Structure 1
Amino acid sequence: MSDTSATPDDVRHVADLARVDLDEDEADEFAAQFADILDYFDALDEVPEVDHEADLVNVMRPDEERECLSHEDALRNAEATEDGYFKGPNVS
């Protein structure tokens, strides 16, 4: 269990700040859930620290320049074009 616990009063305070209405049963339930969440954070304290930075390797391929589609080929399957550009629906 966490050394830091959340009381139903803490839950009600946070709920008031968030403008959320809670009844007593919900406040008790959330207090228990908050305590579980705080336990998870305590578990993170047990993770050992890393003394050095990881050796990063670029796994991406280098950019390769190659021929692209012609203007006509790019517009060939367009549903609608206008003045050499793609034409989409009007937005209102």
Structure 2
Amino acid sequence: MSLDPATVKRIAQLARIRVTDDQVAPLQSQLNGILGWIEQLQEVNVDGVAPLTGAADMALRMREDRVTDGGIAEKVLANAPDRAGEFFAVPKVVE
């Protein structure tokens, strides 16, 4: 499939892209290249390949829902500018 300049201008208008007359020819060749790639993809044999429409049909793996501190408090607080025990110490901002 090959696009003509009028179709390229129409596509640009629909996409709300301002295209000057000197930009139409390069854009036309780029769009024709993209359509060529699509034509190549249509030639690929996909018999026996199940379509993947998304991950909605997949079941999530379940894990035990338990609260932990992560066990790495020292690593987390290593870069803290100030700390109070196992907590970040921050300056008072409201009086």
| Aligned-pair CA distance for 1:79 | 1.1
- Name segments (4+ residues, structure 1) moved above 4 Å: none
1:79 correspondence with 2:81: yes
Contact 1:75-1:86 at 8 Å conserved across structures: yes
| Aligned-pair CA distance for 1:11 | 1.4
Aligned length in residues:
72
Higher relative contact order (CA 8 A, sep 6+): 1
| Aligned-pair CA distance for 1:84 | 5.2
The sequence identity of aligned pairs, in percent, is 26
Q: Which residue of 2 aligns with 1:47?
A: 44
Letter in structure 2 aligned against 1:40: W
SS at match of 2:35: helix
Contact 1:8-1:30 at 8 Å conserved across structures: no
Unaligned 5+ runs, structure 2: 51-62, 64-69
Q: What is the TM-score normalised by the length of structure 1?
A: 0.55
**In 2, distance between residues paired with 1:22 and 1:87?**
56
Q: What is the TM-score normalised by the length of structure 2?
A: 0.54
Unaligned 5+ runs, structure 1: 54-62
- RMSD of aligned Cα (Å): 3.2
